[in-house]
Amino acid sequence: MKSTAVASSSSSRAARKRRTCSCCSWASNAARLEIKDDGIQYRVAGVARPRPDFKDKDRQATTRDGVPIWTLRLDAIDNERETKETIWVEVAGDEPKLTFDEYALVRGLVFAPWVGRDGKIRRAFRADAVEPVLPVKSVHAA
């Protein structure tokens, strides 16, 4: 996926509604890199699934505010380079109403890597929102 990552500034973080997660420190001071994804299209590769809670896998994970967290599988498509990468994106809020194989609009995508218990670096993508791309109505001249 062709993207340019830039460290998000404190002012841009403050501008966004800050959500926190009790199980994964969503709003901690950990490194988060905002993804500049100009020219990238996202296609739904799997419907939204509840993210399991870290401690109790039978429950859905929530932010500290009690907002549910959802996991989506998206294909990030770079038509210029003719490449595609599948990524898993977490989003907090109402269940994203997306259909398999439709295009999606991803807002506020960030990369937040973390180190697992085994010492390996894990990739984590989070977004403020993931919404369906509304079809453009064509206007025909009369």
pLDDT score at 16:
41
Residue partners of 137: CB distance under 8 A and separation at least 6: none
pLDDT score at 117:
86
Q: Any idea where the domains of the chain sit in the sequence? A: 4-132
Higher pLDDT, 86 or 6: 86
pLDDT score at 36:
75
CA 100 – CA 57 distance, rounded (Å): 25
What's the mean pLDDT in 96-117? 91
pLDDT score at 11:
38
In the predicted structure, residue 2 carries a pLDDT above the cut 50: no
Higher pLDDT, 2 or 111: 111
25-76 residue pLDDT tens: 444 445 667 777 788 999 999 989 999 888 888 899 999 999 999 999 999 9
Contact call for residues 23 and 60 (beta carbons, < 8 A): no
Domain 4-132 is in which class?
mainly beta
Threshold 0.75, pTM exceeds: no
Contact call for residues 31 and 112 (beta carbons, < 8 A): yes
β-pair type (83-92, 125-127): parallel
pLDDT score at 137:
62
Q: Burial level of 42, CB count in 10 A (0-12/13-18/19+)?
A: buried
Q: How confident is the model at residue 82 (pLDDT cuts 50, 70, 90)?
A: very high
